[in-house]
Amino acid sequence: MMVGAGYERVFEVAHVYRAEQHNTNRHLNEYIGMDFEMGFIESEEDVMNMEESLLKYILDKVEKEGQKYLELLNITIPKIEDNIPRIKFCEALEILRREYNKVDIDGDLDPEGEKLICKYAKEKLGCEFIFLTHYPRKKRPMYTMPCGESETHSFDLLFRGIEITTGGQRIHEYDMLINNIKYKGLNPEKYHNYTSVFKYGMPIHGGLAIGLERITMQLLELENIREASLITRDRTRLTP
């Protein structure tokens, strides 16, 4: 909405609250999201390019300015030498089937699938990060730009076995947005405050959200995301 208001590039670092039913080592009900949206893109590739550059900057800065802390924790910062590999979700499923005989996947990767595809990326592609693109339309939010009938212009970024980012191109046309809301089985009238902005014109845009605790957890090789959270909020803890 702010992109459409003329800001063109917007970011935020803020708390996110989710009615998360999971109780795992990777889920929180309150976490910190590092989000950005950018207008006048060609496709989701522009968003991935931006994140790749951002990650290279972050990792370089952490390594240079936090060296004594990395040594204290015995942590090695990963290198992104060239580009982060990008493969379609359907190709990832084929790799999992062919390389690891894993076939029990329906629309999204389970934790084992994420670990295995990251193992493949590290061993075969030489990178601890990997972009998976073109996720199934049925599994992505209502505002995600469709790609044909069954796929979307979306992506996840996986790092050391866990998804740390979800992003993609957004729908910018009003009629398409309304139709996609209906496709998801939702009532467009309930989203009027959001959709009405699109009546007045919206540039082609996209964005992403990086989970701060998740990327911290993976960089520091922690066993549980709660170790990367200052004051944990999950299904069983609300205070202090």
Query: What's the mean pLDDT in 43-55?
Result: 98
Q: Write down the pTM of the prediction.
A: 0.95
Does some domain include residue 236? Answer: no
Q: How confident is the model at residue 159 (pLDDT cuts 50, 70, 90)?
A: very high
Q: The domain containing residue 26 runs over which residues?
A: 3-228
Q: Residue 186 maps to which CATH number?
A: 3.30.930.10
Does some domain include residue 217? Answer: yes
Residue 83 has pLDDT above 80, yes or no: yes
Does some domain include residue 238? Answer: no
What integer best gives the mean pLDDT of the chain? 95
Q: Report pLDDT for 32.
A: 97
Tokens of 63: 């390594």
Q: What is the chain written as a DSSP string?
A: -TIIIII-EEEEEEEEE------STT--SEEEEEEEEEES-SSHHHHHHHHHHHHHHHHHHHHHHSHHHHHHHT-------S---EEEHHHHHHHHHHHH-----SSS--HHHHHHHHHHHHHHSS-SEEEEE--BGGGS-TTBPEETTTEESEEEEEETTEEEEEEEEBP--HHHHHHHHHHTT--GGGGHHHHGGGGG----EEEEEEEHHHHHHHHTT-S-GGGG-SS--BTTB---
Q: Report pLDDT for 108.
A: 84
Does some domain include residue 163? Answer: yes
Does some domain include residue 53? Answer: yes
Does some domain include residue 29? Answer: yes
Q: How confident is the model at residue 173 (pLDDT cuts 50, 70, 90)?
A: very high
Domain count, the chain: 1
Residue 56 has pLDDT above 90, yes or no: yes
Q: Lowest mean pLDDT: which of 55-69, 72-86, 104-118, 169-183?
A: 104-118
Q: Report pLDDT for 93.
A: 95
Q: Report pLDDT for 21.
A: 84
d(CA 128, CA 130): 7
Does some domain include residue 240? Answer: no
Q: How confident is the model at residue 217 (pLDDT cuts 50, 70, 90)?
A: very high
Q: How confident is the model at residue 22 (pLDDT cuts 50, 70, 90)?
A: confident
Q: Report pLDDT for 20.
A: 79
Query: What's the mean pLDDT in 65-72?
Result: 95
Could you tell me which of 233, 229, 175, 234 has the C-alpha nearest to residue 202? Answer: 175
